[in-house]
Chain A
Amino acid sequence: MSRTSGLEPRLSEGDAPPARPQSKSFDWAWIGVTPFLIYAIMFLFLPSASIFVRSFQGPDGGFTLQNFATLFSRTDIINAYKTSIGISVLTSVGGAVFGFLLAYAVVLGGLPRFLRPALLTFSGVASNFAGVPLAFAFIATMGNAGLVTRLIESWTGIDIHASGFTIYNMWGLSIVYMYFQFPLMVLIMAPALDGLRSEWREACENLGGTYSQFWRYIAFPILMPSILGTTILLFGNAFGAYATAYAFSGSFINLVTILIGAVIQGDVLYDPGLGNALALGMIFIMLLCMLGYAWSQRRAARWAK
């Protein structure tokens, strides 16, 4: 008996077993990922779902949209989002630009070969160097009694802080954030730059193209999805940063993560409904990032192997 379109396995009527294996093998394949999916559901989805649910809870536990209304009405919350997004844009673009330049310098820039693994391994460490030690390191460098401050004062007699210059604002924090943004960009772009085949460069030369034309018409278009994707990753990285910001200036700089911390961990401002709504807002923004990242990765995959 011939099989039908193959949509339903018909094993009945005492037929000989069909020539091709049934979709049973597809079932078994799903079992392979079952442990992972169970884990994800138990320890990722459910706790995150609780965020979603609780953001609709008022202080008495009843359903309310009040938390979201507060999100859009309180100026300090709006400012928190503004500042967080501001720092994230600043450090992701800045991090992407300089990180790219660093990666380029070391991969294609004609520098001694040993510098490449040195920079890559250093970047591996630096991208994890965050929180209290990083905050202290920058305060010890650029703060009121920092090393650089003291050196400048002893060399030129100028007190850079006298005119009101301070590192304790969005700009200072951005400089601190760069410490883990640059390395992340380097780590991701170095292999991508490596992937620029020399054949393409030679082909371009053969056709009479200059170096800058090579970059403008060939290299950048190829690299752009990776660059864009990594920039988005950097954005998410900065947006979610908490330990470094808190260690640097406590709640004195108004960021969303800091606000969530104060609302969930504090006790006067204790408002879990609001905290969860804030977190949901954050997650929403991050999801947009992730979607953008996924899209750009798909474009980048066109040029892989």
Chain B
Amino acid sequence: MKQSRIWSWIILIIGIFYFFLPLFSVFEFSMRMVKDKYTFQAYIVAFSDKAFYENFGFSMLWAILTIIVSLALIVPTAYWVHLRLRRIKPLIELITLMPFVVPAVVLSFGLIRLYGKPPLVLTSSPLLLIVGYVTLSMPYMYRAVDTGLRAIDVGTLTEAAQSLGAGWATILFRVIFPNLRVAILSGVFLTFAIVMGEFTFASLLVWPAFGPYMEEIGAMRAYTPQALSVVSFALTWISIGLLQRIGRGAPGQGQIAGTR
């Protein structure tokens, strides 16, 4: 075992190098805003831009809406399929993997062409954007919920609740959801991360989301976009860490898979 421990450390150290070196390079560059000195100037400037808060706020709002729609759509479906329609589970899984398969650029063009004309003009409200986001995050949300469902005995729980006289609403909200808390949370977090960083849809549909904002300042400025990417990385890591803490020990500790 001792030999394997040395190798484990070696692998870990290589991994740390690989992951942290690029982060450190960005950080080092972001500190160079004032010539020949290392200061936090870039961070101060980045956070004093009004547009930052506006775009961040917009995306947050849409992230929350996306999460609500996504949960409402996917959790009951996953639960139902798990409980009653096991046979079509592979079909549902295949459907949820479709957004993974079709490139985002193409999917968004398809959505615009189909739903940008009367009688279904959806392009003048953020509805289509939310539709796009829900679709993009579907694979991850479904996967998270599915992992959670696999870890708990859905059938027994449902039967027990039914035998105690619970109706479907009670079963869903007071028995199933709490047990899926961690799985749902991990899906929620993934969706949040995806929406906040999403660029393709928002820029094609021309909405002031955070993704296009980061792109714009990335193209037009130096130092501040790098400061922002360091901050967003740190914030996301802290958030997921908190989630990890909350969910420690609860059933259905699912994975946290990601995008490209």
User: Is any CB of A less than 8 Å from a CB of B in the complex?
Assistant: yes
Residue pair A109, B25 in contact (C-beta under 8 Å):
no
- A-B pairs with beta carbons under 8 A, tally: 235
Minimum CB distance partner of A30 in chain B: B85
B contact patch SS? helix
Contacts of A203 in B (CB 8 A): none
Contacts of B259 in A (CB 8 A): 127-128, 130, 180
Interface residues of A in 231-273 (CB under 8 A from B): 236-238, 240-244, 257, 260-261, 264-265
A1-9, A36-44, A65-73 - interface stretch: A36-44
Judged by a CB distance under 8 angstroms, whether B50 is at the interface is no
Residue pair B104, A36 in contact (C-beta under 8 Å):
no
Contacts of B90 in A (CB 8 A): 294
Judged by a CB distance under 8 angstroms, whether B117 is at the interface is no
A123 to B97, CA, bound (A): 21
Judged by a CB distance under 8 angstroms, whether A56 is at the interface is no
Residue pair A243, B200 in contact (C-beta under 8 Å):
yes
Q: Tell me the smallest distance from the CB of B35 to a CB of chain A, in Å.
A: 16
B57-65, B159-167, B191-199 - interface stretch: B191-199
Judged by a CB distance under 8 angstroms, whether A283 is at the interface is yes
Residue pair A102, B12 in contact (C-beta under 8 Å):
yes
Instruction: Give the residue among B4, B103, B189 with the most A Cβ atoms within 10 A.
Output: B103
Minimum CB distance partner of A111 in chain B: B8
Residue pair B25, A33 in contact (C-beta under 8 Å):
no
Residue pair A242, B8 in contact (C-beta under 8 Å):
no
B interface footprint on A95-137 (CB within 8 Å = 1, 0 otherwise) = 0001001101110011100010101111111111111111011
Contacts of A188 in B (CB 8 A): 255, 257
Contacts of B92 in A (CB 8 A): 33, 36
| B19, B76, B106, B114: the one within 8 Å of A179 (CB) | B19
Residue pair A137, B25 in contact (C-beta under 8 Å):
yes
A11-19, A46-54, A74-82 - interface stretch: A46-54
Contacts of A138 in B (CB 8 A): 22
Interface residues of A in 273-292 (CB under 8 A from B): 275-276, 279, 282-283, 286-287, 290
Contacts of B225 in A (CB 8 A): 132-133, 136
| A101, A241, A275: the one within 8 Å of B106 (CB) | A275
Kindly state the interface size class of chain B when it binds its partner.
Answer: 35 or more
Residue pair B19, A126 in contact (C-beta under 8 Å):
yes
Judged by a CB distance under 8 angstroms, whether A162 is at the interface is no
Contacts of B45 in A (CB 8 A): none
Minimum CB distance partner of A176 in chain B: B22
Contacts of B241 in A (CB 8 A): 117, 121
Minimum CB distance partner of B245 in chain A: A117
Residue pair B4, A47 in contact (C-beta under 8 Å):
no
Residue pair B21, A115 in contact (C-beta under 8 Å):
no
Residue pair B12, A115 in contact (C-beta under 8 Å):
yes
Residue pair B100, A147 in contact (C-beta under 8 Å):
no
A101 to B11, CA, bound (A): 7
Q: Tell me the smallest distance from the CB of B121 to a CB of chain A, in Å.
A: 15
Interface residues of B in 85-106 (CB under 8 A from A): 85, 88, 90, 92-95, 97-106
Interface residues of A in 137-166 (CB under 8 A from B): 137-138, 140-141, 146-148
Judged by a CB distance under 8 angstroms, whether B15 is at the interface is yes
Contacts of A283 in B (CB 8 A): 101-102
Residue pair B110, A50 in contact (C-beta under 8 Å):
yes
A190 to B255, CA, bound (A): 9
Q: Tell me the smallest distance from the CB of B245 to a CB of chain A, in Å.
A: 9
A interface footprint on B1-45 (CB within 8 Å = 1, 0 otherwise) = 100110111011001001101111110110000000000000000
Q: 14 additional contacts, CB 8 Å, given A47-B110, A240-B101?
A: A33-B77, A36-B74, A102-B11, A109-B11, A111-B9, A125-B237, A128-B259, A131-B197, A134-B22, A147-B21, A147-B28, A187-B256, A188-B257, A290-B97
5 pairs, A vs B, C-beta closer than 8 Å? A33-B80, A102-B11, A105-B11, A121-B241, A283-B101
